[in-house]
Amino acid sequence: MMIHFPCLLEVLDASNLSSELRESFKVILRWYLPWCSRQSLTCSVESARNFIEWAEAEKKPSLWMTEGWKEASRWFFVSAKAQARASQTKCDAS
């Protein structure tokens, strides 16, 4: 399933996550989304798994870092799905 989430930053900023976690998710998602583009992949659960596998091989992160990447990915896909359902929700295109 391909994900389209144009309001990503607005939804993340409005979330109940702590400011530290929001900033962490922004960094991770700003790394993942361009990675998809460079790899000519759509934004999907499969591409997120591929990204995490790639990042683990490249960065050799500690377990807590990998879990943070997975947590950001889960938030992204759950929130994108909820945003798609809430079709009445508008966001700034700017």
| pLDDT value at 93 more than 50 | no
Question: pTM of this prediction?
Answer: 0.80
What is the C-alpha to C-alpha distance for residues 53 and 33, in angstroms, rounded to an integer? 15
**pLDDT for position 91:** 54
- What's the mean pLDDT in 32-61? 94
Report the Cα 28 to chain-centroid distance in Å: 7
| pLDDT value at 49 more than 80 | yes
| pLDDT value at 92 more than 60 | no
4 touches 77 (CB < 8 A): no
**pLDDT for position 21:** 96
- What's the mean pLDDT in 21-25? 96
**pLDDT for position 73:** 94
Number of C-alpha atoms within 13 angstroms, CB side, residue 32?
Answer: 30
Q: Which residues contact 61 (CB under 8 A, 6 or more apart)?
A: 55, 69
